[in-house]
Amino acid sequence: MLGRFFNHQKETQAVDVKTDVPVHVAVIMDGNGRWALKRGLPRNIGHREGMKTIHSITESANDIGVQVLTLFAFSSENWLRPKTEIDFILRLPERFLSSELPKLQANNVQVRVMGAVEDLPSHTKKAVETVMHETADNDGIILNLALNYGGRSDIVQALKLLGSDIEQGRCQIEDITEDMISDKLYTSDFPDPDLLIRTSGEIRLSNFMLWQMAYSEFWFTDVLWPDFSTEDFAEAISVFQQRKRRYGGV
């Protein structure tokens, strides 16, 4: 019934790295907990395994020619999870970034973070700030981690900034444009995502980059994030390359 939303092997062709490579790929990394539960393991093990997938997919995206890879690492709604799970998840960026820093440097990866970082634990903030500083001069693929991020709150904070500009006389209400709102979002430095990938079979945005996804192509797969392979990623890119983006036109 949902087949038309999902990947099919018959659609897949080899990735053409010279044609229509998406500039910005966003990924909702879903299914870590279910991966662990299927194996009778604690959910934390699933999150740990999911970290390994981040490494392989970042390398694959870099090889294919993707310029920005945004990963939904921790949503503003994830605070509703059990405290022990939250504590574990928020230690993962620290562990991943510290262990991966030499490889990130070697591959010229620049790490960025978007979201309400100021509300994260101090150890998480310190880890991401350190890696962002260390990789700031790298000019290869941008690995953009969405931490404590929500699409609605992103729009709200953008409107607050725009409201401040109006109060201070820098612009007028009647002058507001879509571009002005986009320029206040966390993603103001990046183009909107060309492609959204979501693993685990769920078909929803989960409050992820709501403004920015207006014309993104969506690709869903039943594969759980820890099992998501470079072949799966290549398939998503291949299917994207076969689609015709009309942006409301014919």
Number of Cα atoms under 13 Å in the Cβ half of residue 186: 25
The one catalytic residue in 78, 107, 138, 207 is 78
Alpha-carbon span 246 to 50, nearest angstrom:
34
Q: Decide: 191 and 216 in contact? Cβ < 8 Å.
A: no
Summarize the annotated binding site for Mg(2+) as residue ranges.
30, 217
Q: Decide: 230 and 57 in contact? Cβ < 8 Å.
A: yes
For the four alpha carbons of 121, 193, 229 and 4, in that order, the dihedral sign comes to positive
Report the residue count for the chain: 250
Q: Decide: 240 and 20 in contact? Cβ < 8 Å.
A: yes
* 30 tagged catalytic: yes
Q: What is the DSSP letter of 193?
A: P
Summarize the annotated binding site for substrate as residue ranges.
31-35, 43, 47, 75-77, 79, 81, 198, 204-206
Summarize the annotated binding site as residue ranges.
30-35, 43, 47, 75-77, 79, 81, 198, 204-206, 217
For the four alpha carbons of 115, 216, 220 and 140, in that order, the dihedral sign comes to negative
The one catalytic residue in 7, 30, 44, 154 is 30
- The one-letter amino acid at 205: L
> Burial letters for 36-64: b for 16+ Cβ neighbours within 10 Å, e otherwise?
beeeeeebbbbbbbbbebbeebbbbbbeb
Question: Which residues does residue 28 pair with via DSSP β-bridges, in sequence order?
Answer: 72, 198
* 108 tagged catalytic: no
Active site residues: 30, 78
